[in-house]
Every structure is written in structure tokens, then in C-alpha cells.
Amino acid sequence: MNDVDDIPLHVIHLDQDDPKKCTSRKMHRHGLIELHSNLRKSPRRGFLLDPLAGLLLGPDDKAKIERGAAIVGLDCSWKQIDESVNYLSRKTKLEGRTLPVVLAANPVSWGKPGRLSNAEAFAVSLILLNRWEQAKQVLKPFKFCDEFFRLNNEPLQAYSQAVSNTELAELQWEFFDKPN
């Protein structure tokens, strides 16, 4: 199902959430991602999607992606995000990256800025790197797929056109309120 040109997508799964609501497991069943419960088998280089990172994933990261770096999601409970991210940053060499603001369309966090499922986070990551088709494939198995693209159409279109991470960082505040 994956295309040779697809960006490698991986999830480090910490088994902290309800398996019935787990987008990572569903993406894995559809052959869209590699799922790892053992850190030693996860990618050695790439970007960890970390909402606490402070550095955005974006155009400045394309060169590393083109050289084979993976995008890695962390499947953990939002309630345990701090401990989980700290654990991974000590145990891996993955570079933490956050995403520009978009609205969640998943049923657990619908309409909440930044409270994305892994499927939504991967879709945004791929769009930032101009991989729209792969982004659509990642969300295709989910009922909220069309809603996600409808809710975030304008920001996603703008984000995909950014030429630098600095421009991307400024662009998000044209669509969302900047936090104080």
C-alpha cells in the first residue's frame, strides 16, 4: 500500500489509552505505519512529533526527510505526555518537533486546537512537507477524515506553501489566536 516515495511513518506505542480509540493501531492494521512497543526497534534518526518541543516541523526539515529521516509519533495518554516525552528524549536521538495549530476532528477532542490523534498529526506533518496524497491515505480509514480536511482547509493550504519554519510559525497566527 505504501509508495516508494512515501515518508516512513512510525509510532512508539506505550499502551496507555483505550485500544478501541487508538488511531495508531488502526493505521498499522491498514499498513500505513510501523508500530513499535520496543524502543530498540524504533527508528534511530528522524523527528519525534512532540507537542512540547517548541520547534516546528516544516520546510527547513525537508532535506533530512529526503535523506531518509522518519516521522515518529508517540502513542500515549495526553495525561502522561510530559513523562512519556521525557522518557523518549532520554532513550532516543530523535529530534522533537511540534506542529502548527490545527483543529482536531477526532471524536475524543473535536474542535480542540492541537489535541490531535496520531493520524491527524501525521496528516499535518505530511502536508507541511507537501505530501498531500500520503496525508489523505493516512486519514482515509477514519470517519473524521473529511471533517479534518474541511475544518482545517485554509490553514493547511497556507502551511503547505510556507518556505521556511519561521514563515510557518507566523502563518498559524493568521488563523488562530496567539497564546499569551
Map out the domains of the chain as residue ranges: 9-174
Residue 5 phi, psi dihedral angles, 5° rounding: -85, 0
What is the phi-psi region of residue 153: left when phi exceeds 0, alpha when psi lies from -120 to 50, beta otherwise? alpha
Q: How many CA atoms lie within 13 A of 27 on its CB side?
A: 31
30-74: per-residue pLDDT in tens? 999 999 887 777 787 899 998 888 899 999 999 999 998 999 988
Q: How many CA atoms lie within 13 A of 96 on its CB side?
A: 15
Spatial distance between the Cα atoms of 162 and 123, rounded to a whole number of angstroms: 16
pTM of the predicted model, to two decimals?
0.90
